[in-house]
A and B are shown apart, each in its own frame.
Chain A
Amino acid sequence: MLRDITLGQYYPADSVIHKLDPRVKLFGTLIYIISLFVFKGLPAFILAAIFLVVLIKLSKVPFSYMVKGLKTIVLIMLFAAVFNLFLTPGTKLVSFWIFTITYEGLKNAVVMMVRLIFLIIGTSLMTLTTTPNELTDGLEKALSPLKYIKVPVHEIAMMMSIALRFIPILIEETDKIMKAQMARGADFEHGNLIQKAKNMVPLLVPLFVSAFRRANDLAMAMEARCYRGGEGRTKMKPLHYQKRDRMAYLTLLVYLAAVIGLRILWTNVLSGMAAGILPGAFPL
């Protein structure tokens, strides 16, 4: 179960998306997230979906990889959906006991689910096509102006990349500890939520201990290989924008403009038209 988290796991392939400058992918993800919260109306939603599908096809990462990442956040999505479903005031649709489902609530819940799904897939696409090192290199370079106001950009980037590298290792370790404790009679599967959380405590203690030990070892290994912060460091893969990166930026801008344009269009014209054609239709 714990192995299913794809966030922060690189999928090697030879594709246009993989080759893009990490800064493009970082800004791209940011723009995509913004577009998700800006979009309004069915056409914009379709545009966002098409954009994502095209990117996934281009990246040559199997679609199943993206979906795997979704499994882990099902709970959060359900929370968001349920709250939206029951707690949005508006026109009554169904009501039973103390619960009322409103038309607006249903709409909000669906929109929220779609947004979250696209958000997770979009960000997984970035982490699946960018090695953590590239990602942090990109972050470091994109944020490098902050150095002048004494933000330790290099250190932050390095910490991030190490954190990402250790996610799978710590997950494996959790699995191992869990199995070792299950073999001695620990129960992680039964009981209510609070009991389950309580049962996790004996899992967390050894995990923390081992994480600290690993951190200590790693720090020593890094020092042994002459690591002394960002100063005087050269890059194995220095970042330079190329033609494809400029093209990608252009595409992103066009996409963002289209989403914003559709929003304006939708609020002013299209929604009225849609309501006219299909009364009671589902205006997102």
Chain B
Amino acid sequence: MGIIKAKDLVHEYIRRDEEGNVESIQTALDKVSLDVKKGDFIAVLGHNGSGKSTLAKHINAILEPTEGSLWVDGFDTTEEKNIWDIRQRAGMVFQNPDNQIIASVVEEDVGFGPENIGVPTDEIWQRVEESLKAVGMLKYREHSPNKLSGGQKQRVAIAGVMAMQPECIVLDEPTAMLDPVGRKEVLEAVHELNRKKGVTIILITHYMEEVVDADHVYVMDAGKVVMQGTPRSIFSQVERLKEYRLDVPQITLLAYELKKAGLDIPDGILTREELTEALKKLCQS
């Protein structure tokens, strides 16, 4: 069993009127099953309202499944007593950097998580230093978060999660509110953590470019996992992705259009280099 395993996960948002009668039921997750291996970099793609954020909140035990079950590192999220173990193992980074930084000094914010789980003082300092170093924010440790850029704030938030030494980090659209530079910074930091510290990453996003380097991609639509596989196998199905209102990376799209126009190029080209290679080959033959 992998570090995160979901079996037929169902979540319904139920709206009730004043007398407690059910007004409407919205199924946000519909029989989602997934199995994530330790150390993997997973990306979850989906259009707005596809249920990807709901899924993220289940992994951190913020939401409870209506039906089905989810295990994080062997802990069942439906059991109340496991909640804190799960939250320590599966850290979560949210979309808005301002709304998740609690303290008004960077290092105090990174120390907030370890404080909550009762880590001794000396070790907190050690962890804070390590985590800030891991995301390249050590020199800002005494700054106020208000004066940092969006990308820097989001890196502080990631450091705050890292300081709890989680097995996996769930990032719920961490780059949605950032400029291109900030997006690059955050993604680099995340990849670095995945490579160097072996942290399992679950990146939830709707930017296709961020998915290219993932080990495994899940595509969600209307609460269901509709496609899964390596980025290459996903992006070779351009037509199907368009059905789910998702764009493919521009390079992939270009390659796809060229192929449609009659050029002999392989499916699922992900990077500029691959496309140049393919075109070069074509010219030579």
> Cα distance A131–B143 when bound, in Å?
11
Q: CB within 8 A of A233: which of B100, B105, B118, B164?
A: B118
Q: Are A12 and B118 closer than 8 Å at their CB atoms?
A: no
Q: CB within 8 A of B91: which of A165, A214, A225, A237?
A: A225
Please count the residue pairs between chain A and chain B whose beta carbons lie under 8 angstroms apart in the complex.
102
CB-CB nearest in chain A for B85? A226
Q: List 11 A-B contacts (CB under 8 A).
A: A131-B103, A131-B105, A133-B103, A218-B100, A218-B102, A226-B88, A226-B164, A233-B115, A234-B124, A236-B108, A237-B108
> Cα distance A222–B113 when bound, in Å?
8
Contacts of A9 in B (CB 8 A): 144
Which of chain A's residues 200-237 have a Cβ closer than 8 Å to chain B? 214, 217-218, 220-228, 232-237
- B116: CB under 8 A from chain A? yes
Which of chain B's residues 146-160 have a Cβ closer than 8 Å to chain A? 146, 160
Contacts of B96 in A (CB 8 A): 217
Q: Which residues of A contact B (CB under 8 A)?
A: 9-10, 12, 131-133, 161-162, 164-165, 168-169, 214, 217-218, 220-228, 232-238
Q: Are B100 and A217 closer than 8 Å at their CB atoms?
A: yes
> Cα distance A32–B18 when bound, in Å?
53
Given contacts A214-B98, A222-B112, A236-B121, list 7 more A-B pairs with CB under 8 A.
Answer: A10-B105, A161-B104, A165-B102, A220-B57, A223-B62, A225-B160, A234-B114
> Cα distance A251–B128 when bound, in Å?
35
Q: Are A165 and B142 closer than 8 Å at their CB atoms?
A: no
Number of chain B residues close to chain A: CB under 8 A: 41
Q: CB within 8 A of A12: which of B100, B102, B143?
A: B143
Contacts of A222 in B (CB 8 A): 102, 112
Q: Are B62 and A224 closer than 8 Å at their CB atoms?
A: yes
Q: Are A162 and B102 closer than 8 Å at their CB atoms?
A: yes
- B125: CB under 8 A from chain A? yes
> Cα distance A4–B160 when bound, in Å?
30
Contacts of B84 in A (CB 8 A): 226, 228
A225-B160, A236-B114 known; A132 vs B121 contact (CB < 8 Å): no
Q: Are A221 and B87 closer than 8 Å at their CB atoms?
A: no
A221-B94, A224-B62, A234-B121 known; A10 vs B104 contact (CB < 8 Å): yes
Contacts of B99 in A (CB 8 A): 214, 217-218, 221
CB-CB nearest in chain B for A137? B108
Contacts of A236 in B (CB 8 A): 107-108, 111, 114-115, 121, 124-125, 128
> Cα distance A217–B97 when bound, in Å?
10
Contacts of B102 in A (CB 8 A): 161-162, 165, 218, 221-222, 225
Q: Are A133 and B125 closer than 8 Å at their CB atoms?
A: no
CB-CB nearest in chain A for B57? A220
- B161: CB under 8 A from chain A? yes
A279 CB to nearest chain B CB (Å): 54
Q: Are A225 and B144 closer than 8 Å at their CB atoms?
A: no
Contacts of A226 in B (CB 8 A): 84, 87-88, 113, 116-117, 164
CB-CB nearest in chain A for B94? A221
Contacts of A164 in B (CB 8 A): 104
Contacts of B128 in A (CB 8 A): 236
> Cα distance A131–B145 when bound, in Å?
12
> Cα distance A226–B61 when bound, in Å?
11
Q: Are B108 and A133 closer than 8 Å at their CB atoms?
A: yes
> Cα distance A71–B120 when bound, in Å?
44
- B119: CB under 8 A from chain A? yes
- B42: CB under 8 A from chain A? no
B149 CB to nearest chain A CB (Å): 14
> Cα distance A214–B164 when bound, in Å?
23
CB-CB nearest in chain B for A221? B100
Q: Are A235 and B115 closer than 8 Å at their CB atoms?
A: yes
